[in-house]
Chain A
């Protein structure tokens, strides 16, 4: 199953240059000292100017350097509210291929914004090199400072440091790749019609969450290489498809009854889009390339979905810490402090369950609390902390935090660092919803007996593997009607929702032959199955 690019990288495995040669900088132990106290704080009008932005950026940067935040170079872009909505609509990226769903997103954002139902986010930051942060022109100076600290130093250092981003995304080539994708899709629309491309993209988007490699490192290529290889790939991929045709029986009426002897694929595949790209019998070369583009984009966003709490928490922790340090050093005026603290407080507000505003745990609140708590454990551990975290209690907080940021994802981060003190502060409790029981049951609460179970439960909650149904390519019926068989392995007997059939129609469109989906319960028995024939249009 390895494609050309993985082979290309295989030679690098085991060298000191882990993750494609991006070397990380060693964390600082103590922060560097302040070089010189300013005579007076920076001017603090409510309107920003370019000159002021520069001055604020300069002090934020030097403060961030004192704490050893390792970032990509920063590029701050001033944009209007309309441009912010444009960016919203294309999943936050500055360029993207055209699709009606982005238009839908734009229209609803635009409408809500005009009606005053929602404010726009203060910032969007793009995991690219240089790292692009958008500053909206409507923001006040205090908000711009907050955004610079949050996005350009918080998120930026996370993108550069966290292992998932290092492994799965390539900051230096993503913009180029999206430019390539946009042009390719546009060219396809011209050649094959907007409708054909739209149908294909719809189908691919339905499977986007199943278009990621979870355990293998994806390839990365510059725009030039990508273009040069696209052509070769089309030819090569078309040959690969013959795998399925090659085993065609000579006399189907006789052998169709024969028992299927060889399995294809040899092992179940979890990356549905990858499997389709490489093996769907009827796709044209350009269609394979588009499947690939959607898959690549999905892969690029995969780490973000796995590190919501960590990423937002990290950025929030650092804007809080940087701006407070700036204030302590005498850079910030009191009015500025009040203003950004108000926004900060709104962002980290965690409504309790039952509150009208409650939509589950707020990743900003949880992440911020956890990083702050780790710092506290390092600096002022209690006996309980020493008991629970013997390796970090009393250690230096910068190094510990750096380690925590680099080497975890939400699931493991919570499993490792959620402290009993925090569970008490959030008053966390777990509820079990079992369809066999008539009522819900409170399984654990924030008490001595429940800490570990509670932490495990919360950690599991952030496991993408259990949040999304586990669906794999099970086999292809080579000797019969070439149907594709997918298998859903139920997690805790949770069934699929009603959207499954619609998604299967999309799979059938891509595969070109019937698609089966079998939902298998915990006892190994098939609970439900679907069959969808390919559309005949």
Chain B
């Protein structure tokens, strides 16, 4: 009877279903935590897991239990010097520390938050849920890059389908020669000797000598026969290594209006827009540089923190950012070597004489250098910048897209456009 069963390979992750139900139940808290995490993270760090804190009281499962009060008697071990009738001060917190047998457990850590780790996949799931991304796009975005396998010489172990027969047999011949040559040489010598002895007259001592020689020859034959034709150490395999498919470099310009009218909610919208573009690019390119340009009446290049944190007041001159972007491209990112993407977020406010200038700049200088330029306006109201850009979108539909998004879930359509364009061009 089989009494010991190896279950190690069977039924791992049985709790996945239960974990899913747990996440489902606490969706609201998790979504809130993801939102906070997105706000606190850099664009590059978006695709990571996150620790989620949930107040323990939200997780408790109520049962009937005894409360404080009444009369109860508890037996404890380890009496040192009590005698009957001794009176003891009530411990603080009433009866704490005297949880009797069977009640020991999680009483102590009652108020701590319940903390658990959301994996990268689960985190992205919630993030995408918010953006109302269709499923196909999700998998495209969350996927890891493709790999190619290359030959990388030979190795001494591998799978049978990679066996290199010629090299293995060549090794086997060498080994057989190395191990057998001494025996063969001796065999040849003995056979020669035997032939010579047989030539001579047959006396008793000759016959013994012949018998001895034949024994030796047989032993040598057996030894040579025992050298294996093919030994595991002869085997050579083609070695293959996986390397990521090399893709070109890309640079992503994030342009954002930081004038007074851009409040936190609008910035958050813009940030999600940038994140989505970044995720899209990571799917296509091995290396991505990010350039952050913020502007009000003047533009400046800043790091990511300053980009999302800073708040300025005053008017808006959008062209300042475009000019700076063009300068940076010319200085650092020659368009022959880099795929250039531009993403601009604004509330549509612009100094009115500036908008035609923006269109001109884009059409003449920037779009020819760019793979793609996306503009997102985070308010509904259309102003002159929108009208000018709309003209541009008609002129150059291949490289320019614009959308309005006033809530988070409207951001995606911009990308559908982006993807459909990618689909056409291939």
Contacts and interface: CB of A to CB of B under 8 A. Distances in A.
B420 interface: no
A348 interface: no
Given A205-B61, A431-B73, A433-B95, A79 B15 contact: no
Interface stretch (B29-37, B114-122, B238-246, B380-388): B114-122
B201 interface: no
Nearest to B117: A111
Contact of A445 (B5, B83, B98): B83
Nearest to A427: B79
Contacts of A454: 75
Interface string B9-22: 00111110111111
B8 to A, nearest CB: 5
A82 B4 contact: no
A497 B23 CA distance: 29
4 tightest Cβ-Cβ pairs between the two chains A and B? A352-B78, A103-B22, A359-B104, A494-B70
A498 interface: yes
Interface string B72-102: 1111111110111111111000010111111
Contact of A492 (B68, B71, B74, B87): B71
B7 A83 contact: yes
B88 A440 contact: yes
Interface stretch (A20-28, A93-101, A316-324, A473-481): A93-101
A107 B19 contact: yes
B77 A497 contact: no
- Report whether over half of chain A's contact residues are helix, strand or loop; otherwise say mixed: mixed
Interface of B: 1, 3-8, 11-15, 17-25, 59-80, 82-90, 95, 97-105, 114-117
Contacts of A53: 4
Contact of A100 (B21, B67, B85): B21
Contacts of B11: 83, 86
A441 B88 contact: yes
B22 A100 contact: yes
B100 A441 contact: no
A89 to B, nearest CB: 5
A3 interface: no
Contacts of B98: 353, 360, 431, 433
Contact of B19 (A106, A309, A353, A467): A106
Interface size class for chain A? Answer: 35 or more
B8 A80 contact: yes
Contact of B20 (A80, A103, A429, A443): A103
B78 A353 contact: yes
Nearest to A132: B5
B121 to A, nearest CB: 16
A433 B70 CA distance: 8
A429 B31 CA distance: 52
A366 B88 CA distance: 25
Contacts of A433: 71-74, 90, 95, 98
Contacts of B102: 305, 308, 360, 462, 467
A76 B78 CA distance: 38
Contacts of A428: 75-77, 79
B78 A351 contact: yes
A363 B101 contact: yes
Contacts of B95: 433
Contacts of B4: 50, 53-54, 57, 76-78
Interface of A: 50, 53-54, 57, 73-80, 82-83, 85-86, 89-90, 98-104, 106-108, 111, 137, 194, 198, 202, 205-206, 208-210, 305, 308-309, 350-355, 358-361, 363, 366, 426-436, 438-447, 449-450, 454, 457-458, 460-462, 467-469, 471, 488, 490-500, 502-503, 506
B101 A461 contact: yes
Contact of A83 (B8, B22, B82): B8
Nearest to A205: B61
A50 B8 CA distance: 13
Nearest to A471: B64
Contacts of A444: 84
A361 B18 contact: no
8 contacts: A54-B4, A77-B6, A98-B18, A308-B102, A350-B78, A493-B69, A497-B68, A503-B63
Contact of B64 (A104, A205, A209): A209
Contacts of B72: 432-433, 492, 494
Contacts of B103: 360, 467
A277 to B, nearest CB: 18
B87 A450 contact: no
Nearest to A496: B67
A108 B103 CA distance: 19
Nearest to B82: A442
Given A80-B12, A209-B64, A435-B70, A461 B3 contact: no
A439 B82 CA distance: 14
Contacts of A202: 61
B77 A361 contact: yes
Contacts of B59: 104
Given A98-B18, A442-B85, A360 B69 contact: no
Contact of A77 (B7, B63, B67): B7
A358 B96 CA distance: 12
B7 A100 contact: no
A147 to B, nearest CB: 12
Contacts of B15: 85-86, 89-90, 102-103, 106
B8 A458 contact: no
Contact of A499 (B19, B62, B84): B62
B3 A90 contact: no
A445 B84 CA distance: 6
A89 B3 contact: no
A494 B100 CA distance: 15
B122 to A, nearest CB: 12
A429 B100 CA distance: 13
Given A82-B13, A89-B15, A494-B66, A430 B73 contact: yes
A304 B14 CA distance: 24
B18 A102 contact: yes
Contacts of A460: 73
Contacts of A85: 15
B71 A494 contact: yes
B8 A427 contact: no
Contacts of A435: 68-71
Contacts of A359: 99, 104-105
Nearest to A454: B75
B79 A439 contact: no
B64 A210 contact: yes
A449 B65 contact: no
B69 A461 contact: no
A457 B73 contact: yes
Which interface residue of B15, B72, B80, B87 has the most chain A CB atoms within 10 A? B15
Contacts of A361: 75-77, 100-101
Contacts of B21: 98-100, 103, 194, 198
A90 B18 contact: yes
